[in-house]
Amino acid sequence: MFHSLLSKSEESKDVKNQSGDGQSNIIAAVRVRPLSCEELHREDREVLYSPIPGTLQVNHGSQDKLFTFDAVFKPKCSQHEVFEKCGVKRLLDLVFQGFSCTVFAFGQTGSGKTYTLCGPYSLFHGGLKDHSFCGLTQRSFEYILERTQSTQEEFVLSATFLEIYNEQVRDL
């Protein structure tokens, strides 16, 4: 699961929409990862379904639960689809209006955070060259570079990547 957050300035602590586009400043999206090879071998079954766009149903015996999100991505969705529809592009557009933006990914180990943000391990270490597997990070950089090259303005860009694991913060 990942969240996208934005704020115009450090002094602004209210939650009203300051971007002026009529959309919420917080977007909650969830991506359901496909079952792993090990899970398929054990004959595990999927327990998460998206019966209606923006909803996620957790099937747990007789206690099914339905949750609502701004976006729900099914296991077979592409990296491109996630980038186009999760709200990150909107945040990047707001960066060019002077907003500071944050993408926050969280979930248990093995839930797909790194895949969604960066793509598969083999994209960096195994010789995989297929751009379609690039994650939100690479796609965001490409989008920003395309935007900056189409204007005569000068830009100063900065990015920070942190990982919090077992209550330890690591600068990536």
Binding residue ranges for ATP: 107-114
Cα gap 124→126, rounded to integer Å = 6
Q: Choose among 120, 122, 136, 108: nearest CA to 1.
A: 108
Residues 6+ positions from 33 with CB-CB distance below 8 Å: 75, 111, 112, 115
Greatest Cα pair distance in the chain: 60
* Known binding positions: 107-114
